[in-house]
A and B are shown apart, each in its own frame.
Chain A
Amino acid sequence: MSSPNEQTDQYLEAVLKRRSASVDIPQDEADVVHQLIETYPVVSLSSHKKRQILEKATMLSRKQKRPKRINWLGRVAILLIVAGLGALVSNLVQSDFAMLAPIDEADDIVLNEETPLFDAIPQTSDAFGFEYGAYTPIDDTIPYADDMRNAGMSWVGRYIVYDPSQPEQLVTVTEAINTAHENGFKIMVALQGNPNLYSDEYLDGYVAFAGEIGEAGADALEIWGEANINRSFSEELMQDSTAYATILRNTARVASATNPDMLIIAGGPAPTGAPDAFPRQVINDDVFLESMVDIVTMGRVDCIGMHYLEGILPPLATSGDTRDDYYTRYLPTMLQRYRQVIKADLPICITELGYLSAEGVDDMPVFFEWADDTSRDEQAQWTREALEWLSLQADVRLAMIWHIGIPTIEPGSDGFDLVHPISE
């Protein structure tokens, strides 16, 4: 039996014979070259490692391919988000904004990635655990993830209207939750209901769906926002002051059972003061809050939602609005009014925070004309300042910006967007 050294010599001899001079260097150096080729191996990665590297490469390539075209699922999500936008103006116009036309497939949507989100990075305080983020397109990637991280955001928002005829909704939401987590974000799902589908069976399905969202790992759930206007909630149910509160209680119970760590947020009411103009169709947001506050404070709700979208002055202003001095015009007065109504230690989550600017927006609807004098620069600056001020409020837990990178599909909708989406 040969010794190890002899075995080594035999092996090397075999190697040298097997390897002919296949490279562009003289034969007299072949021994060293062959040693290099034979003993400096090309590493064979395991199939698992190959798959990991490929998955990461694919994810990176998608990020690098911005501007990104939104797939049909993204378009559906965008439709739903903009549907919610209509609630903001429902106290002014009751029907013009209601029906969303299907998107023409030829109208490719392109996101503009050049505009910075803010004029400076928000200098928010960590003293009270305040966090913030934004509604933004999410499917299997988050096109604005880097921009949002750079702006200090740790949350993304996803808006969805429950529809039992679309079982793929759970897949879509689950994908968004997974994508958010893979990108290091927490995710708030704003689960809206459809008043036109209302029935006991529908409500049961809504509650069950909220539980499934909890199981899927969402970090926060806003339960049926803007239920104080008939656009978002059954007009019949609106006449029963406890109807929404009952839905809220049942949904919160199921959702928190499936995911005890999920932040349960009572749906922010639509900021409105027009019940006289639209009787039975609108309930003032503070009145609406009062009707549910007892159930909220006794139940499993962690946070009260609030939507602030009407500002035309810097966020600390409390007077000077040319429309009137109604409390929903100013961030401090609206927050203060909610505190008065809640009368409890429950924190407030600003589940929709945005400033509308008409600058550069084609076909801004007349009911948005109050935003004509707000520039894009002011929009960015005020949003930043609002975040900074909110972070100093001990009872404000979360703020979600409305919105980043949501393309234009309805007149005026991109006036809220911090990155000026454009259509080709």
Chain B
Amino acid sequence: MHHKQHPETNLVKALRRSQHDLSAFTPIYEAYVDRIYSYCLYRVNHVADAEDLTSQIFARAMVRCETFRGDSVGAWLFRIAYHMTIDHYRAKRTDTLSDEQLAILHDASQPSPLESVIRGEEVNRLHNLLKTLDEDKRNLLLLHITGDLTAREVGDIVGKSSGAVRVEIHRIIQHLKQQALLQS
């Protein structure tokens, strides 16, 4: 994906260095903050809560960087994000993004005027579509898309096999297509 600016191997090295030198964490933060924030935003549907959660997730990552054992920093970070957003979601459920929050969402990505029109419509449309998914399914899809994780990485986080994740995502997509047809 185009937003992977740092080769993963370099980030793994940076993460290992950051166990002794927190300043080494900077490229990891830079590489993932947008995606972690986006994931949080779509999970909790609240801009300020998403910012707080993002801070908490990176704080947890800084404290626990010595627990990293895998080969994907992204998967490790999203595992933390997955659990922390679940905790947040249980404690403070919010269901919808307000118009104001959607506007922030549009502005934040700074698209061109044409893209802005298209995205404005599509984000609203897809936001409504995703609302038709239950919490687990939406989470699965967000990990896959916003987190840019493979089916195996998603499966590791949510405790399912990669095959089960593929099947689940297939069904989710089918469901979304049906809903899209119904709403068109």
A32:B119 contact, CB within 8 angstroms: no
Interface size on A, residues (CB 8 A): 38
Residue among B1, B108, B114, B123 making CB contact with A7, cutoff 8 Å = B114
- At the interface with chain B, which of A54-62, A133-141, A243-251? A54-62
Q: Which residues of B contact A45 (CB under 8 A)?
A: 33-34, 37, 108
The residue that A32 contacts in the complex, of B114, B150, B176, with Cβ under 8 A, is B176
Can you report 8 residue pairs joining A to B where beta carbons are below 8 Å apart? A24-B169, A25-B170, A26-B170, A29-B174, A29-B177, A41-B105, A49-B51, A54-B55
Chain B residues near A12 (CB-CB < 8 A): 118
Q: How far does the Cβ of B4 sit from chain A's closest Cβ, in whole Å?
A: 11
Where the two chains meet, the residues of B that have a C-beta atom closer than 8 Å to any C-beta of A are: 1, 3, 22, 29-30, 33-35, 37-38, 41-42, 51-52, 54-60, 62-63, 105, 108-111, 114-115, 117-119, 122-123, 125-126, 141, 144-146, 150-151, 162, 166, 169-170, 173-174, 176-177, 180
Interface residues of A in 5-38 (CB under 8 A from B): 7-8, 11-12, 22-26, 29, 32-33, 35-38
- Tell me if A64 is interfacial: C-beta within 8 Å of chain B: yes
Interface string of A310-342 (1 = CB under 8 A from B): 000000000000000000000000000000000
Q: How far is the CB of B6 from chain A (nearest CB, A)?
A: 15
Cα A49 to Cα B36 in complex, Å, equals 14
Known: A11-B115, A60-B55. 12 other contacts (CB 8 A): A4-B117, A11-B118, A25-B170, A35-B122, A40-B145, A42-B38, A50-B30, A53-B51, A56-B52, A57-B62, A61-B59, A61-B63
A39 adjacent to B122 (CB under 8 Å): yes
Cβ–Cβ contact B58 & A53, under 8 A: yes
A22 and B1: CB pair below 8 A?
yes
B35 cross-chain contacts in A, Cβ below 8 A? 42
Provided the pairs A26-B170, A29-B170, A39-B118 are in contact, do residues A57 and B56 lie with their beta carbons within 8 angstroms?
A: yes
Contact of A42 among B115, B118, B146 (CB under 8 A): B146
Q: Would A43 and B117 be within 8 Å (CB), given that A25-B166, A25-B173, A53-B55 are in contact?
A: no
Nearest to A26 among chain B residues (CB) is B170
* A25 → chain B closest CB, angstroms: 6
| Residue of A22, A35, A43, A61 with most partner-chain B CB within 10 A | A43
Please determine whether A24 and B173 come into contact, CB atoms closer than 8 angstroms.
no
Binding site for B on A (CB under 8 A): 4, 7-8, 11-12, 22-26, 29, 32-33, 35-46, 49-50, 52-54, 56-61, 64-65
Chain A's closest residue to B62 (CB) is A61
> Closest chain A residue to B29 by CB distance?
A54
Q: Are A40 and B59 touching (Cβ within 8 A)?
A: no
Chain B's closest residue to A39 (CB) is B122
Residue of A nearest to B104 (CB): A43
For B174, list chain A residues within 8 Å (CB).
29
Q: CA separation between A22 and B145, bound complex, in Å?
A: 11
The answer on a CB contact under 8 Å between A23 and B144 is: yes
B123 touches A41 (CB 8 A): yes
Q: What residues on B are CB-neighbors of A61 within 8 Å? A: 22, 58-60, 62-63
Assess whether B145 is in contact with A50, with CB atoms less than 8 Å apart: no
Nearest-CB distance from B57 to chain A (Å)?
A: 8
Knowing A4-B117, A32-B180, A53-B54, the reply to whether A40 touches B42 (Cβ < 8 A) is yes
Is the CB–CB distance between A53 and B63 below 8 Å? no
Quick check: B38 and A56 within 8 Å, CB to CB?
Answer: no
CA distance A23 to B41 in the complex (A): 23
- The residues of A that contact B3 with a CB separation of less than 8 Å are 42
A44 to B2, CA, bound (A): 13
How far apart are B32's CB and chain A's nearest CB, in angstroms? 10
- Are B126 and A35 in touch, CB under 8 angstroms? yes
How many Å from the CB of A354 to the closest CB on chain B? 33
**Is the beta-carbon distance between B145 and A25 smaller than 8 angstroms?**
no
Report chain B residues within 8 Å CB of A52.
51
B177's nearest neighbour on chain A, judged by CB, is A32
- A39 in complex: contacting residue of B42, B126, B166, CB < 8 Å: B126
Q: Evaluate contact between B108 and A46: CB separation under 8 angstroms.
A: yes
* Minimum-distance CB pairs A-B, first 5: A39-B122, A60-B59, A57-B58, A61-B62, A56-B55
Determine how close the nearest CB of chain A comes to the CB of B120; give it in whole angstroms: 9
- Determine the chain B residues whose CB is within 8 A of the CB of A57 once the complex forms: 29, 54-59, 62
CA distance A299 to B105 in the complex (A): 58
A residues less than 8 Å from B176 (CB atoms): 32, 36
Among B1, B59, B62, the one with the most A-chain Cβ atoms within 10 Å of its Cβ is B59
Q: A5 CB to closest chain B CB, in angstroms?
A: 11
Nearest residue in B to A15 (C-beta to C-beta)? B118
Which A residues lie within 8 Å of B51 (CB)?
A: 49, 52-53
* B122 proximity list for chain A (CB < 8 A): 35, 38-40
Considering the chains assembled together, what is the distance between the CA atoms of A36 and B143 in angstroms?
A: 13
Docked-complex contact A8 and B123, CB < 8 angstroms = no
CB proximity of A263 to chain B, nearest CB, Å:
34
| Given A25-B166, A32-B177, A53-B51, A40:B33 Cβ within 8 A | no
Contact between B54 and A41 (Cβ–Cβ < 8 Å)? no
Report A-chain residues with C-beta under 8 Å of the C-beta of B173: 25, 29, 32-33
Interfacial chain A residues near B108, Cβ < 8 Å: 43-46
